Structure 1
Amino acid sequence: MADSRDMYIVHSLFRREFPAAAALVRTVVADDAGAAARVADHVLLLTGALTLHHSGEDKYVWPTLLLRVPDETAPLVETMESQHEGLHAAVAEVEERATVWRRSAASADRDALATTIDAMIEPMSEHLVAEETHVLPLIDEHLTDEEWAEAGKHGMSAVRKSQLPLVFGMLLRDARPEHIESFRAVVPGPVWFVFSRLGPRAYDRYARQLGLDRVTAA
């Protein structure tokens, strides 16, 4: 059956990167168009990853749980889908603010983006806790490892090849050994061999260039 502990790696990424992104946005000097563009692109990378994560659950997890154990999972799935809808609206607002700031580099647009990211962190965190508490045990009980791997493949298949090392590095950044073990089990061996080595270096370089290392160390 499925081993969904790799979900904790993905959740750890979101818990770490979104607050850091809000802090990073606030460090950008007004009218620095280059820095605004780079940081806005980083924010859009994160929102894209969150959207992919949720679309994989919507496509591969909820329908299977409803098919296998409808009475037990129907109220829970309804709650999860409702939370997804709320987060999708929050993500759309963050993306709109990021796009505006990317064009203007104005301090007012910068501050509006940071505030909008801040506003989505609490509902996102509540949703992640609910998934870990209520959904992961059901996944492990009712989905096969092959079915669970499909959800992971959905997200990774949408990542540009040039960004794969960076994404691996983000995922592995704070991962616990048991969660890495679960993640490795659903990644093809050659892919793991390459990107588990390239990823941490790619993320460290990216964080230094962007200034993420400064805000996360603060």
Structure 2
Amino acid sequence: MTDNREFEIVHDSEVPGTPERVWEAVTKGTAAWLFPNDDWESVNTVEEYPRHLVNRMEGPGGWFNQIETVMEPLEGGRAKLHYVHSGIFADNWDEQYDGASKHTEFYLHTLGQYLRYFDGQPVVFTDVQAPAASRTPDGFIKLKEALGVEGAAAGTSIDVDLDGVGRLSGEVDFSNENFLGIRTSDTMYRFFGRNAFGAPVGMTVHEFGGSGDSELTAKTWGAFLERVYSSN
């Protein structure tokens, strides 16, 4: 039995960028803080530059996925961001809503990190998934332990040598039970404890400056994640 119900996730925040820069990031620069959306079959139903954007995808049976972004200028080159994600979940409504709502805070935090530290720089995006063994209740805890950041709060400096990866020197910019963000001088690493939502642990790497190699990054971090969960 399907459970097709509408959902709405609302998030209000301030970000370190003008509405014009936020508009650029949410339309053309999503690979820098979210993931590439070049292949999305969506349309902008509202496009009032640089204040109001509504992007919508539709499918059979009334299915839709919509993101509305409203940007208001603030003093000091900042913007107030009103973000509304709405649509229809098919099946596992509670689990999908829980996952989507918690991801929203992390994604929009990452948008702020991009605007503050890397705005406008070329980016190479890489998505890496951990093996199925990471689905266990302690899957994300094991990853944090392997990274040497268990218990580290946002703002903590780190300098660790990871087997097969090399030195990781930077700052924990986000940390809770489901998500971890590490920012270095030229890269943002985003770690997702999706084991809490019935999926494997995952990560994305956003390498700035134009020198990233997605194939090498995927191979290096994929091997690291395999080692983390090889004993499961």
What TM-score comes out, normalization by structure 1 length?
Answer: 0.27
* Structure possessing the higher relative contact order (Cα contacts under 8 Å, 6 or more residues apart): 1
Higher helix share: 1
Higher strand share: 2
What TM-score comes out, normalization by structure 2 length?
Answer: 0.26
